[in-house]
Amino acid sequence: MKIITVIGARPQFVKAAVVSRAIDKYNQSDKQIEEVIVHTGQHYDANMSDVFFEEMKIPKPHYNLHIGGGQHGAMTGQMLAKIEEVLLQEKPNAVLVYGDTNSTLAGALAAAKLHIPVAHVEAGLRSFNMRMPEEINRILTDRISTWLFCPTNTAIDNLKDEGFLRKTAGNKYLVENVGDVMYDAALFYKKLALPSGEISHILKEANHKFYLATIHRAENTDDKERLMNIISALDKIADNVRVILPLHPRTRNIIKQYNLHFKHIKVIDPVGYFDMVTLLGQCQAVFTDSGGVQKEAYFFHKPCITLRDETEWVELVERGYNFLVGADYDKIIQAQQELVIKEISFSEQLYGDGTAGVNIVQRIIEGLR
């Protein structure tokens, strides 16, 4: 039995590693599954060196298509053609895709056109903002998938609203809440994570009392007023509590172009996954426009102030773990002030019990028999 995994960005490698470990566990009982990993090259990441794969215990890709940059249509089209070549050569029984990138959609389309079953991990997520390329990728990938592996009951409900029905694997498709692979990853990696010397120094300097912030989405970085509001609010907050902001060079350059300045925020270079896990584990709260970091904040029992107008993780907002504030200066300040006096219990298990990877492998095997 052969499965091809298509991924294109560092977070997808972390997610896919969860399922790869579950496949290895399954193979220990003499039932062989061959996994072939295809990296489209969508996101170049200097942190993805040989050390990255070794420390993270992530299998290296068998194929690297080196497709990155350019417009969405051109990028997706190139990926579609190259992935199709791999599928025709490898002849897999199923194709596994993750999340909502162009790599996700290209992998699903290539497989569907060759009548190869598609498994979509993180199916059913919706921001209901069709201006986001990710939203289009999610919807189209779900529509052509055989297995729709949802991380939450909210995702199940989204698919039902769109006309999907819960069926068994023997029928056309399977929609199931298997849990969240990122929760599996958080449980696994927090046991391994040791901070770098630089992060240890920063934590000591902050006396381990700080907020963690990340800003990278185009809706914030490419809009001067939104970015100015966010930075001004974080700078105001940092006047009293240290705010640590790992900043991508692209965002740093945009801030420079806009002639915006930091007064109190501690800006650092982008960090590796283990350093990020350390920062999440030790911070007091998180400010972010990242979908993944919102969830990871919850995994590490940290309240999150989300710098977006909508979120896919609505259950976190509904239950008071996540404050949705957009790029509104006053709302950001107010949310931080509420956090100071609010006690939040993280007793619920909203994203499964840490067995999502095992559940996914079992369902695919059952469906292919």
156 & 19 share domain: yes
Q: What is the mean pLDDT of the chain?
A: 92
pLDDT of residue 234 exceeding 70: yes
Which percentage of the chain shows pLDDT scores above 70?
96
160 & 234 share domain: no
Q: Which residues contact 75 (CB under 8 A, 6 or more apart)?
A: 42, 67, 68, 69, 102
Question: Is 189 inside any structural domain?
Answer: no
pLDDT, tens digit, 9 for 90 and up, residues 276-325? 999 999 999 999 999 889 999 999 999 999 999 999 899 999 999 999 99
Token pair, residue 314, equals 């609505």
Question: Is 191 inside any structural domain?
Answer: no
239 & 170 share domain: no
Give the domain extent around 173: 2-180+352-368
Q: Is the pTM of this model over 0.75?
A: yes
Q: Which is it for the CA torsion 301, 195, 197, 213, positive or negative?
A: negative
91 & 6 share domain: yes
Question: Is 24 inside any structural domain?
Answer: yes
314 & 364 share domain: no
Q: Domains in the chain: how many in total?
A: 2
Question: Is 87 inside any structural domain?
Answer: yes
| pLDDT the model gives residue 167 | 53
| pLDDT the model gives residue 105 | 98
150 & 7 share domain: yes
| pLDDT the model gives residue 164 | 82
| pLDDT the model gives residue 166 | 53
Question: Is 185 inside any structural domain?
Answer: no
164 & 217 share domain: no
| pLDDT the model gives residue 314 | 92
| pLDDT the model gives residue 86 | 98
- Which residue of the set 216, 261, 264, 301 is catalytic? 216
Q: Report residue 147: phi and psi, to 5°.
A: -110, 125
- Residue 97, beta-bridge partner list: 6, 120
| pLDDT the model gives residue 246 | 95
91 & 162 share domain: yes
pLDDT, tens digit, 9 for 90 and up, residues 46-102? 666 676 788 788 899 999 999 988 899 999 999 999 999 999 999 999 999 999 999
Q: Is 115 a catalytic residue?
A: no
pLDDT, tens digit, 9 for 90 and up, residues 149-189? 999 999 999 999 998 865 555 556 789 999 999 999 999 99
303 & 282 share domain: yes
| pLDDT the model gives residue 172 | 62
Residues 247/215, Cβ–Cβ less than 8 Å: yes
221 & 125 share domain: no
Residue 82 belongs to domain with CATH number: 3.40.50.2000
| pLDDT the model gives residue 248 | 86
